[in-house]
Chain A
């Protein structure tokens, strides 16, 4: 699995994708830093991470995930992975963690907002870490969806569009008072912005991610039967 993580993470930065992702993320961060923290003149960074996750991931998740399996399938490199003695589980997890790595790099850079606020006021570092934990979990959920979309098609664009469609839905679904509201991953991100780790939300996001990772593994393992 380590080999896959290493190669995939490196690939993000060998192509422009890694830099584009971090650039877009920091842009969205900065916009919301101005719109929330600076406009309200507060030291609270909760809404900064909330809104960046809500709007940023719609663009970021598909960019990070659309080539994952679709490109391998199209170029045939899938044959190299599937015929090597690595289990599908470790390939899928390897790719997932590599994408999470890019997110974590962004989050580390996003500490600068904390230090900017710290210069003027007295923000709590633990609250910010809770925001970040929530951000990582939500990103994980979004990436797992994108990864699943990428595994079911050999066309990157279709994979990207499916991911965007799903994430845009989560924008609206959280306001709809129905059972589908639970399909919105942002519904599991309501306590993190106030600095609270709730078991319900952590488990909700982790199980959501686990579900789509397992779907991906199942799809990839079925490939050798139907191909």
Chain B
């Protein structure tokens, strides 16, 4: 449905997005994830044809957005960041205007507008001016503007920012519903949101794609070890020997000692081994009382932080190299300058000598 090939966007010397490649299939809900200034909005703006990539091409539903913008844009409904609206129009007028801009036929226009207004829950405010609405409603109006005319692709830039928890769940449910017969792309820096809604996540940092995968796979990537938290009452200090009793255990570590004399341990095993059953049985035999047992799940949050810090490390290493190179270069330049200074001094001396001689 959407192909992004070797796309780069530069502003002067600053590279906002560098050489990204990905493909989005029909019916997918894809989330762009990244810290502020990562290039999420720039990428979305390029897909919608609002800005032109410096290099590379973007194909939407078979049409190149730079070469056949009209046909490509017809497939896209876009809700920009910061929800820009025409303040002097009412909700209904605004949605109608968006429908007209998208070239809806005048016969079906009224029905389509009404349908979208109902879908986004704007029926009560449809005759209010958009400038008088609260942030949550504005967001929905903007979304209605994107949905009207049934575009195949819906692009939402931070759709849940600034909403109250109830509205957030409503919008998420709406997005999920849309995902059934549309391709949806959304950006967010809220990780739980992305893992709840999206089939696939594209993580961007500093204009580069770090990972493209399903939320589940990304979480798995981070879980290097298979760990379990246990809180136990162990008056006879039998936990020390537990490792010898159960061969699957790799490591037992004390996390904390609680006030009620229970102790919290983290027990690590090999991958793909579920220790919980064995632990339970062994503890029972040894007379250790279990208060709590919990598998340590990695979240998308961990994946995100890990991926981003990994790229950061790589870059830092590169930067160090780069700096060293720079230092070397600087030294070279300094040497050259010194030499050239000496030369000029020499020539000056020569000149002054000559002049004196002439005198």
Give Cα distance in the complex from A80 to B141, angstroms: 13
Give Cα distance in the complex from A4 to B102, angstroms: 11
Q: Which of B50, B82, B85, B88 contacts A83 (CB 8 A)?
A: B50
- Taking CB atoms and an 8 Å cut-off, the chain A residues in 138-152 that contact chain B are none
Q: CB distance B82 to A76 under 8 Å?
A: yes
Interface residue? A81 (CB, 8 A): yes
B interface footprint on A194-227 (CB within 8 Å = 1, 0 otherwise): 0000000000000000000000000000001101
Q: CB distance A79 to B89 under 8 Å?
A: no
Q: CB distance A79 to B73 under 8 Å?
A: no
Minimum C-beta distance from A217 to chain B (A): 14
Interface residue? B188 (CB, 8 A): no
B interface footprint on A73-101 (CB within 8 Å = 1, 0 otherwise): 00111111111111100000000000000
- Taking CB atoms and an 8 Å cut-off, the chain B residues in 7-41 that contact chain A are none
**Inside 8 A of B82's CB, which chain A residues have their CB?**
76
Residue of A nearest to B69 (CB): A85
Q: CB distance B80 to A80 under 8 Å?
A: yes
Minimum C-beta distance from A72 to chain B (A): 9
**Which positions in A face B, CB cutoff 8 Å?**
2-4, 6-7, 11, 14-15, 75-87, 224-225, 227
Q: CB distance B49 to A82 under 8 Å?
A: yes
Give Cα distance in the complex from A63 to B27, angstroms: 47
Minimum C-beta distance from B143 to chain A (A): 13
Q: CB distance B89 to A85 under 8 Å?
A: no
Secondary structure of the A contact surface, majority rule: helix
**Inside 8 A of B69's CB, which chain A residues have their CB?**
85
**Which positions in B face A, CB cutoff 8 Å?**
45, 48-52, 69-71, 73-74, 76, 78, 80, 82, 84-89, 97-98, 100-103, 145
**Inside 8 A of B76's CB, which chain A residues have their CB?**
83
Q: CB distance A80 to B84 under 8 Å?
A: yes
A-B contact pairs, 26 of them (CB 8 A): A3-B97, A7-B86, A7-B100, A11-B86, A11-B88, A11-B89, A14-B89, A15-B88, A76-B84, A77-B84, A78-B84, A80-B98, A80-B101, A80-B145, A81-B101, A82-B49, A83-B48, A83-B73, A83-B76, A83-B78, A83-B80, A85-B103, A87-B70, A224-B50, A224-B52, A227-B51
Minimum C-beta distance from A218 to chain B (A): 14
Give Cα distance in the complex from A78 to B270, angstroms: 56
**Inside 8 A of B97's CB, which chain A residues have their CB?**
3, 7
Q: Which of A11, A81, A85 has most B Cβ within 10 Å?
A: A85
Q: Which of A7, A15, A87, A225 has most B Cβ within 10 Å?
A: A7
Give Cα distance in the complex from A82 to B69, angstroms: 10
Minimum C-beta distance from A88 to chain B (A): 10
Minimum C-beta distance from B129 to chain A (A): 9
Give Cα distance in the complex from A85 to B103, angstroms: 8
Q: Which of B69, B76, B103 has most A Cβ within 10 Å?
A: B69
Residue of B nearest to A77 (CB): B84
Minimum C-beta distance from B88 to chain A (A): 4
**Inside 8 A of B50's CB, which chain A residues have their CB?**
79, 82-83, 224, 227
Beyond contacts A7-B86, A77-B84: 19 other A-B pairs, Cβ-Cβ < 8 A, are A2-B100, A3-B97, A3-B101, A11-B86, A11-B89, A76-B80, A77-B85, A78-B84, A79-B45, A80-B78, A80-B80, A83-B78, A84-B73, A85-B71, A85-B101, A85-B103, A86-B101, A224-B51, A227-B51
Residue of A nearest to B145 (CB): A80
**Inside 8 A of B80's CB, which chain A residues have their CB?**
76, 79-80, 83
4 smallest CB-CB distances across A and B, nearest first, come from A76-B84, A3-B100, A84-B101, A85-B73
Minimum C-beta distance from A3 to chain B (A): 3
Minimum C-beta distance from A170 to chain B (A): 32
Given contacts A80-B145, A83-B78, A87-B70, are A225 and B52 in contact (CB under 8 A)? yes
Q: CB distance A84 to B85 under 8 Å?
A: no
**Inside 8 A of A224's CB, which chain B residues have their CB?**
49-52
Minimum C-beta distance from A224 to chain B (A): 5
**Inside 8 A of A78's CB, which chain B residues have their CB?**
84
Q: CB distance A77 to B86 under 8 Å?
A: yes
Residue of B nearest to A15 (CB): B88
Residue of A nearest to B82 (CB): A76
Q: Which of B51, B74, B84, B88 contacts A85 (CB 8 A)?
A: B74
**Inside 8 A of B145's CB, which chain A residues have their CB?**
80
**Inside 8 A of A83's CB, which chain B residues have their CB?**
48-50, 73, 76, 78, 80
**Inside 8 A of A227's CB, which chain B residues have their CB?**
50-51
Give Cα distance in the complex from A79 to B86, angstroms: 12
Given contacts A79-B78, A224-B51, A225-B52, are A84 and B102 in contact (CB under 8 A)? yes
Minimum C-beta distance from B50 to chain A (A): 5
Give Cα distance in the complex from A79 to B49, angstroms: 10
Given contacts A3-B101, A79-B78, A80-B80, are A85 and B70 in contact (CB under 8 A)? yes
Q: CB distance A85 to B102 under 8 Å?
A: yes
Given contacts A224-B51, A227-B51, are A79 and B102 in contact (CB under 8 A)? no
